[in-house]
Structure 1
Amino acid sequence: MTSESAIKQIRSYIAQRQWSEVIALCAQTLKNNPKRLEFYPFLAKAYTNQGRLTEAISVYQQALGTALNQAEIYAELGLLYSKQNQFVQAAWHYQKALAINPDWAELQYNLAVVLHQLGDWEQTIAAYQQALKTKPDYPAVYFNLGVLYDRRGELDTAVKNYQRAIEIQPNHIRAYSNLGSTLAKQKKYATAIKILQQGLQINPTWSTLHNNLGQIYLLNEQPDKALASFEMATSLEPSMGLAYNNLSKLWQQQGNYERVAEIIKYFINLEPTNVAAFSHLAGVLFHQGKREQAIKYLRQAIALEPDFVNTYCENNLQENTTDLLTRAKNSCAKFLAALSEEADTPEVLNFLWQTYSHWGDVLFEYGSITQAEACYRKGLDIKPDAVSLYLNLGNCLAKQKRWNAAVGIYQMGLILEPHHGQLGFQLGKILENQQLAQSAVDYYEQILQKKSYQTGLWQELPQLFPTKNTLSHLPQAIYHHTHDWIRDCRLEDYSYTEIVWEGTAPTNSRRSKQPPIQITPEELDNSEIECGGVSCAKCMAQLINEFQPVFIGNRSYQCSFNYSLDITASLPFVVSIPQGKVWNAPQKNSWIICHAIAVMTPDNYLLGDLSRCYPWFLPPCPYPEKTNHKIFEVDRLPDLTQLKGKVAVLSGLAGHVYYHWMFDILPRIELMRLSEIDLDSIDWFVINSIEKPFQKETLSWLGIPLNKVVSSDDTSFIEAEELIVPSFPGYLDWIPYGTIKFLRQTFLPKISIESSQYGKKIYISRARARTRQVINEKAVTQFLNKLDFQTIFLEEMSILEQVALFANAKVIVAPHGSGLTNLAFCSPQTTVIELFSPNYIRTDYWVISEQLELKHYYCLGENFNCPTLRNLMYQNSLTEDILVNLSSLELVLNVAGFSE
């Protein structure tokens, strides 16, 4: 057969998709004459269409270096490797093809798609832009750029690219859909609705557009139109699970729980592995009182995602504990174990109500009164005859000054147990305070007559009303700025010195002097509740945006440090106050540490810029001047201890925690030095405690005699002959460079980097921490060990060993936690990979990386998609454990250049 007739026959086979015949003819021809180059592409195409990609690749490789069009050969090889998900090989072959034919726009597009898969977003964008140079009117490129910029959070740029795609291709329906969604993210709801309606004019039967339109109507508070859109989406596509999910949320907002349950059950039939749907349905059924059915769906959720629950049970099934937090976790673990082990419903519910009760105790002790109230109420829903819950719920209501509600709850408890002494006593106290003396006396007499007075139990009762001694010591008013008090006070023997500290700046000299603000019950009750302080999601989102994190793929990001952060605190200062007073909330246990500091003047003013309390605030907070200080919530202040001589106050919020010790407490010693105070002249240093080795070690290095330390945990309310108070250098959880510089100058000269026994690649373990443990720690360490990482337990190391470890490291992988405080000692260009729970992302250490020119990446762990259980296990996202996605970690290590 001649070459021409063979090719003609092959084309006929191809037209009829007879690939085996194409392969046979090409193979026979090439066997007879391997130099018949024109047959190689036909053979490779036939193998490709049969799914035999490896054979197709082999054929094309044989054609390399021949007279055939090499750009096309490399391009085909790139496509084949891409189909095999061998993206590195695919990118290499596309680049070889483009080196031969750089104006091939479609190939630049293919290269960009592969680079996107590899997580190299910068090169992806560069490839798309190169394609546009050759082919400016390429709608698919503009659309994909829109997707990229949208994922990176660069919404304005995303909008422009979607608009350009529509301009070039007016019927690009997906561009309308994405553009509307992006505009909704910008809260431009009216414009977004208009765009989606334009898309529906082009294709009124696309269910995705109707669903997206429904979501925007819902955001725009148009529930009726949202309902119509969701129902239209489901009618057009009965298998569209997302629309059913949105529909269920809408009905729930309107309180129609029966309809919600019906919709979620249908949704589960569509997506039987959707854990969030099982969780949602269980929550709805609990609300309806259908607890047995709810338990059934929770069991199915656990079966689908067992890792979080299994690890939680392993870590928290402890017996015989008196610690409230440990007891709550233990009870929760028993509930989860009973769920997993198919225990009888009454046993499961028994553990559940106890879990709510114990979590209520924890939250009440912590000061989260409204959350505690919610827990006690849920417990009572399950166990309405639990008298202890009525007592605890009544105490919550009384703490909120909801006196009538508290009285009603106490009385309900007394109906169940008429001689319950604690219920009667608390009820009597409220009635006494309401000037109902005779009614109060009646309850007190019942307690005495029934001899229900047990000393231990009475000591555990919370104080409902502040003591007279406490009221006499509370500040009469607050000066938000110490300098304003200085200008107003008539004392002569004070001093006030501002300190130059890098990363801070003088207060605006034109700021008008503020008079003291009188503290009244109305002031405290109407305090700024719009902001959640250091836990405020809105403020933290603003801080995260300051760093413009770049999404690099698969739950992974890189912080962008190409600009200066525009957040500057006021200059720190040191003030001495004759007969000044300070109250530090003492540490109660491992989880209730110092949460408030109040500095007061001899004329009974609270100094706001020296006094802090949780939740305090983050730099972008619109309510930085707080009046609702925790001291006004104290029911019983301890006796006032008077100290002679000069007393320096160094205590800080959570001063027992390594991060706050290093950044909030130690720098204040340097502030005193810079204010020319002779530290030897100080008689006493008030510090939270010196029980931990790092506290003693650092104080010794800084020349503070331990025998001069007064622990504020033991002596929490002090009046000093001369109270010396250095301010906090910078915002809480936002570290100025002056603080970092001080730590580096203090500790780096004391170590030898060359003599470090540790390697350049380190993983900081939190396996011994109480919270935020890595669930798949074993898998993570095994993966990192293969890349020559060393697993480090900082608890085993001295301060100087930690300093040397971080100063010597080239790459550090670590879960978010205090161990990363040591980033302050890293060398420039050190790579940091921080591991987060997806529900708790913080910028604390990004600030350090930005100022020291470190390369900071972060990976978001997998989410436990069962909020009904997750919110029971972790009452605060701060404590959530982390399930590391190994693919995400591998991607970041690859991008950072540490994959081998």
Structure 2
Amino acid sequence: MSVEQLLKLAQDNLSKGNQDRAFAICREIISQQPNCAIAYQLLGNIHEDHGQLMAAMSAYTKAFELAPNQAISYAYLAQIYRNMGWFDEAISFYQQAIDLSPNWADLHYHLGSALHWQGNIEGAIGCYEKAIALNPKLGQAYLDMGLRLNERGDIDTAIKVLQQGGINCPNFQEIFNTLGYLQLQQNQIDEAIAIFQESLNIDPTEPLVYNNLGWALACQGKLSEAIAAYEKAISLKPDLAIAYSNLGKLWQQKNNHRQAISYFQKAIAIEPDNIMFYSDCGSSCLIIGWLSQAMACFQKAIAIDPKFVQGYIQRFNQDVILEVGSDELLQAQIACAQFLEALQKSDLELGNSENSQESDHNVTEVPDAVYNYLEATYLHLGNTLNQYGEWDAAIRYYQRALRIKPQKIQTYLDLASCLAKQGRLQAAITVCHTAGVIEYSPEVYWLLGSLLEAQGRWELAIAYYSKVLENQETAENLTTVSQEWRDTGTISTGEIPRPQQPPQGVYQKTQAWLQANNIDTSHYIPIPTVAQQPPSAELDNVGGRECGGLDCSPCRERIFAGFEVSNLGYGIQRRVADAKTVEVPFETFVASIPQGRCWIVPQENHWKVCRAIATITPDNQLLADLSREYPAPLPGCTNYNPEKHWIFRQTKLCPPQYIDGTVAVLSGLSGHIYFHWMVDILPRWELMRRVGVDFNQIDGFVVNSARLPFQRETLRRLGIAESKIIESDRYPHIQARQLLVPSFASPTGWLQPWGLDFLRGTFLPLATGDNHDYPNRIYVSRAQARHRRVLNEEQVMAQLSRLGFVRVLPEKLSFSQQVALFSRAEIVIGPHGSGLTNLVFCQPGVRVVELMSPHYDRHYYWVISQALGLEHYSLTGDGFSCYPLRSLMYQNPLTEDIWVNLTGLEKILEKLEIR
């Protein structure tokens, strides 16, 4: 038999799965013709099928040596290297194969796959495009290109590519399934359902399509049809865990948590390492009070992904020492760390909900320490939110604490007090009665008396007061302290004013109020810093929602549509925009309000910051364009309603300190934070300078505080004498004969190019006389920050220090030293935080890597980077997927710590060619 005949026989046996026979034939061919490259290629195929990659590589290498001009030999070697994870070698061989056979579409496709696995998404997309151009029927190329475009964030183009793929490859079901999935992401529900149904026409037995169809139907509120689709998916594939999970979520929506738990447990049984299944199951268990079952779910979730929790525990165990009565939020965080540590050390087994429908399940006994620390966490969080004025959230935490320790009288008192602050007096009375059933408490009776008194139920109130007064010692301890209004005597003149009522109305525009009161035009000076564009019709059509602040998805999509976003794999993202996108329309002016007042919420601790600012006219109207609050809207938002400003939630205001002179207001939201001080506060001074204000004629400048070194140093640079500084943290309500109020310089946290020029022109000269030898590669640490720390910073620094990076703590430097340091930097890496504000002092072209949490993305520093011409990248860290525990650790994504993915860090360093 000839070699050609033997080759055909070997190929036939290989195609039929007779690998041993094919192997023997190949060896016979080689014995007859040692230089037969095809035989070695077939041997490589056989070894590869058996998972013998090194033997396969040896065979393919021999084939390559025998036939160096055959593209298939390079392709086989590339495939082996790709499967072994050696992507650089795989890419090299694919490129050599393409050089020999440039019109082979599959080669371009496989090169794209290798580039994708390497993290080069842009390169992968280009290869898929070439593959499709060469072979428009290559369905897998459409599918992968659509997936990569979606990964890059270009979901609209991804949908178009998949739609074209569906036309050219009408029998490729996975294209239709993925297309429908992406349309669901875009809220194109009807289109998605149509696509899923078309996919089922191709193959009515595909369970994943039924699962996705169920999701789409659930989005339409067709829950019964969704359940039927999920159940169909399960009947076709009984081990389809995602379908059980989706059924569980659907029953969660219907508030049937027992049924939801049953499905989540089935999903867990199939995929016991899926952290989201435990998260969902634990969440439902918490809601219905199955605490032991919830603790077991969360313990399993921690065991699957322990690093984030371990980092959190280490952080709050190693560097925090508390005294009695210290910060409530900090106490909550420490209690949470102790809870997580106790839970992590527990060995709990999940019960079976089917065997216990009316009570908690047969779970290994949960240690008392777990519940004690959890209750303490809930209690301190309730106290924190109560102090902050977020009473709904505080009430939820008090209720959770009582679920664990229902005998604790103080928690009932806190809950009742919180309800009373909301005006829910009857609910507060009910809570007090519940506490009174548990045990006699003079504190509860005293609170009951005051609540009944507020309702005008005098006889009952007197009865409860009398019960307390029967015990003279107890009565003395319960003496109420009336609210006192203190006059510091340092600013106010004349009589001590009485408490004020909140404003009675709202003026959207300061200019309109001045005109309505016939105040001459010199009291309002517009400043053309940027183009003043009215809101577009598109913006007007998004009404009907409440303002979502910086997290408002429609506003974010609209504002950042001009940014070219590139996802480069491994959590690396590059954003580029032109000057027009960075410079947003915003009305700037300086106004003078005769007898005007400013009310500025003071900072009370590190988390209770300035959350609202109100400028009030002498006829008690709020000037909306000179007032702010959190959540701060993004540029162009038309859904913010100033009539819901925080000031209208106050029953009365402290009396204003009166100044018989001219006072300029510069304070801003979160004005004690370095970023907001530089970006939102100081540029307001520049607005006054631009209209020619004579600063010598100003009797006082209102800023949030001047206690921090950077505040004092920057104010001195602006020529503001310390004697003229008025701290709104000390005097939250001020009235002046003339209140001079520059408008806000821009939307909150959005540094306009003119503001950037002001900061650089004013403060960069500070660096000229500094001859210190500063490093040019810096890592900006938040190791001493209250939140958003890098939990694995030591591992990060071990990687960076080898490349010459130096860790810096900006708060340890003077302001002028920070300016000098960043003005000489060449590469800046650091977590999102105030330290990166100093990017404003960098030279154009500096490379920046901003480390981000997956749940907190802000525009602050990439807007600055675009305006200044910096090369800005972000690296998104690993998150903790167990959302019930994550929300306990971090009540706001703003505070969430960061776990840097070291592989992603290595890749971005390689991309920037940092050696």
Question: Do the structures match in fold with TM over 0.5?
Answer: yes
DSSP-derived class of the 1:414 partner: helix
1:331-383, Cα deviation, whole Å (9 max, x unpaired): 22232233233395433223222221111000111121110011111112222
**Aligned: 1:391 with 2:413:** yes
DSSP-derived class of the 1:549 partner: strand
1:513-545, Cα deviation, whole Å (9 max, x unpaired): xxxxxxxxxxxxxx9983343344554455455
The aligned counterpart of 1:116 is 116
Give the stretch that moved more between structures: 161-170 or 15-24: 15-24
1:156 counterpart letter in structure 2: D
2:875 counterpart letter in structure 1: C
Taking the TM superposition and a 5 Å limit, the aligned residue runs for 1:27-46 are 41=41, 44=44
The aligned counterpart of 2:526 is 498
Q: Distance in 2 between matches of 1:241 and 1:569?
A: 49
The aligned counterpart of 2:452 is 431
Q: Distance in 2 between matches of 1:349 and 1:642?
A: 52
The aligned counterpart of 1:671 is 687
Q: Does structure 2 retain, via aligned residues, the 8 Å contact 1:23–1:46?
A: no
Q: Distance in 1 between matches of 2:452 and 2:706?
A: 44
Taking the TM superposition and a 5 Å limit, the aligned residue runs for 1:292-307 are 292-307=292-307
Q: Does structure 2 retain, via aligned residues, the 8 Å contact 1:414–1:420?
A: no
Q: For residues 736 and 166 of structure 1, do their structure 2 counterparts lie closer, same or farther at Cα, with a shift above 3 Å needed? A: same
Cα distance, 1:771 vs structure 2: 0.6
2:710 counterpart letter in structure 1: F
Q: Distance in 1 between matches of 2:67 and 2:373?
A: 77
Taking the TM superposition and a 5 Å limit, the aligned residue runs for 1:200-215 are 200-215=200-215
The aligned counterpart of 1:522 is none
Taking the TM superposition and a 5 Å limit, the aligned residue runs for 1:621-636 are 621-635=637-651
Taking the TM superposition and a 5 Å limit, the aligned residue runs for 1:532-547 are 532-536=548-552, 539-540=555-556, 542-543=558-559, 547=563
The aligned counterpart of 1:704 is 720
Taking the TM superposition and a 5 Å limit, the aligned residue runs for 1:292-691 are 292-317=292-317, 318-321=321-324, 322-342=326-346, 345-421=367-443, 423-451=444-472, 452-453=474-475, 458-459=480-481, 472-491=500-519, 495-501=523-529, 503=530, 505=532, 530-536=546-552, 539-540=555-556, 542-543=558-559, 547-561=563-577, 564-565=580-581, 568-635=584-651, 637-691=653-707
Q: Distance in 1 between matches of 2:298 and 2:333?
A: 18
Give the stretch that moved more between structures: 373-382 or 67-76: 67-76
Cα distance, 1:699 vs structure 2: 1.4
Q: For residues 471 and 528 of structure 1, do their structure 2 counterparts lie closer, same or farther at Cα, with a shift above 3 Å needed? A: farther
The aligned counterpart of 1:263 is 263
Q: Does structure 2 retain, via aligned residues, the 8 Å contact 1:37–1:68?
A: no
The aligned counterpart of 2:353 is none
1:806-837, Cα deviation, whole Å (9 max, x unpaired): 33333322211111212222233333222222
2:111 counterpart letter in structure 1: L
2:526 counterpart letter in structure 1: E
Q: For residues 829 and 753 of structure 1, do their structure 2 counterparts lie closer, same or farther at Cα, with a shift above 3 Å needed? A: farther
Q: Distance in 2 between matches of 1:13 and 1:58?
A: 22
Residue correspondences, number: 874
Q: Distance in 2 between matches of 1:186 and 1:845?
A: 28
Give the stretch that moved more between structures: 600-609 or 315-324: 315-324
Q: Does structure 2 retain, via aligned residues, the 8 Å contact 1:618–1:733?
A: no
Q: For residues 277 and 893 of structure 1, do their structure 2 counterparts lie closer, same or farther at Cα, with a shift above 3 Å needed? A: same
Q: Distance in 2 between matches of 1:102 and 1:28?
A: 34
Give the stretch that moved more between structures: 224-233 or 83-92: 83-92
Cα distance, 1:564 vs structure 2: 3.8
Cα distance, 1:671 vs structure 2: 1.3
Q: Does structure 2 retain, via aligned residues, the 8 Å contact 1:82–1:90?
A: yes
Give the stretch that moved more between structures: 224-233 or 668-677: 668-677
Q: Distance in 1 between matches of 2:726 and 2:900?
A: 42
Q: Distance in 1 between matches of 2:522 and 2:551?
A: 36
Cα distance, 1:857 vs structure 2: 2.3
Q: Does structure 2 retain, via aligned residues, the 8 Å contact 1:364–1:396?
A: yes
Q: For residues 786 and 560 of structure 1, do their structure 2 counterparts lie closer, same or farther at Cα, with a shift above 3 Å needed? A: same
1:291-340, Cα deviation, whole Å (9 max, x unpaired): 23332332222222222322222233444342111122222223223323
1:832 counterpart letter in structure 2: V
DSSP-derived class of the 2:407 partner: coil
Q: Does structure 2 retain, via aligned residues, the 8 Å contact 1:613–1:629?
A: yes
DSSP-derived class of the 1:565 partner: helix
Q: For residues 133 and 6 of structure 1, do their structure 2 counterparts lie closer, same or farther at Cα, with a shift above 3 Å needed? A: closer
The aligned counterpart of 2:78 is 78
Give the stretch that moved more between structures: 798-807 or 242-251: 798-807
**Equivalent residue for 2:709, pick from 693, 698, 716:** 693
Q: Distance in 1 between matches of 2:42 and 2:373?
A: 69
The aligned counterpart of 1:101 is 101
Cα distance, 1:457 vs structure 2: 7.9
Cα distance, 1:131 vs structure 2: 2.3
Q: Distance in 2 between matches of 1:693 and 1:178?
A: 55
Q: Does structure 2 retain, via aligned residues, the 8 Å contact 1:556–1:857?
A: yes
Give the stretch that moved more between structures: 629-638 or 610-619: 629-638
Q: Distance in 1 between matches of 2:471 and 2:416?
A: 22
Give the stretch that moved more between structures: 337-346 or 250-259: 337-346
Percent of matched pairs sharing the same residue: 37
**Equivalent residue for 1:864, pick from 880, 895, 915:** 880
Q: For residues 685 and 194 of structure 1, do their structure 2 counterparts lie closer, same or farther at Cα, with a shift above 3 Å needed? A: same
Q: Distance in 2 between matches of 1:533 and 1:457?
A: 43
Give the stretch that moved more between structures: 431-440 or 711-720: 431-440
**Aligned: 1:800 with 2:801:** no
Cα distance, 1:11 vs structure 2: 6.8
Q: Distance in 1 between matches of 2:425 and 2:463?
A: 18
Cα distance, 1:580 vs structure 2: 1.9
Cα distance, 1:860 vs structure 2: 2.4
The aligned counterpart of 2:489 is none
Q: Does structure 2 retain, via aligned residues, the 8 Å contact 1:554–1:887?
A: yes
Q: Does structure 1 retain, via aligned residues, the 8 Å contact 2:609–2:670?
A: yes
Q: Does structure 2 retain, via aligned residues, the 8 Å contact 1:27–1:43?
A: no
1:137-180, Cα deviation, whole Å (9 max, x unpaired): 43322222222223333333222222222222221110111111
DSSP-derived class of the 2:568 partner: strand
The aligned counterpart of 1:780 is 796
Cα distance, 1:890 vs structure 2: 2.6
Cα distance, 1:386 vs structure 2: 1.7
Cα distance, 1:731 vs structure 2: 0.5
**Aligned: 1:814 with 2:830:** yes
DSSP-derived class of the 2:266 partner: helix
**Aligned: 1:733 with 2:736:** no
Q: Does structure 1 retain, via aligned residues, the 8 Å contact 2:10–2:23?
A: no
1:725 counterpart letter in structure 2: V
DSSP-derived class of the 1:570 partner: coil
**Equivalent residue for 1:766, pick from 773, 782, 806:** 782
Q: Distance in 1 between matches of 2:498 and 2:755?
A: 36
DSSP-derived class of the 2:625 partner: coil
Cα distance, 1:419 vs structure 2: 4.5
Q: For residues 104 and 4 of structure 1, do their structure 2 counterparts lie closer, same or farther at Cα, with a shift above 3 Å needed? A: closer
Cα distance, 1:212 vs structure 2: 0.5
Q: Does structure 2 retain, via aligned residues, the 8 Å contact 1:22–1:42?
A: no
1:712-740, Cα deviation, whole Å (9 max, x unpaired): 11122222222211111011122211111
The aligned counterpart of 1:888 is 904
Q: Does structure 2 retain, via aligned residues, the 8 Å contact 1:505–1:571?
A: yes
1:488-537, Cα deviation, whole Å (9 max, x unpaired): 12445962212232x45276999xxxxxxxxxxxxxxxx99833433445
1:668-706, Cα deviation, whole Å (9 max, x unpaired): 111111111122222211111111111112112222222
1:273 counterpart letter in structure 2: D
Q: Does structure 2 retain, via aligned residues, the 8 Å contact 1:74–1:96?
A: yes
Cα distance, 1:247 vs structure 2: 0.8
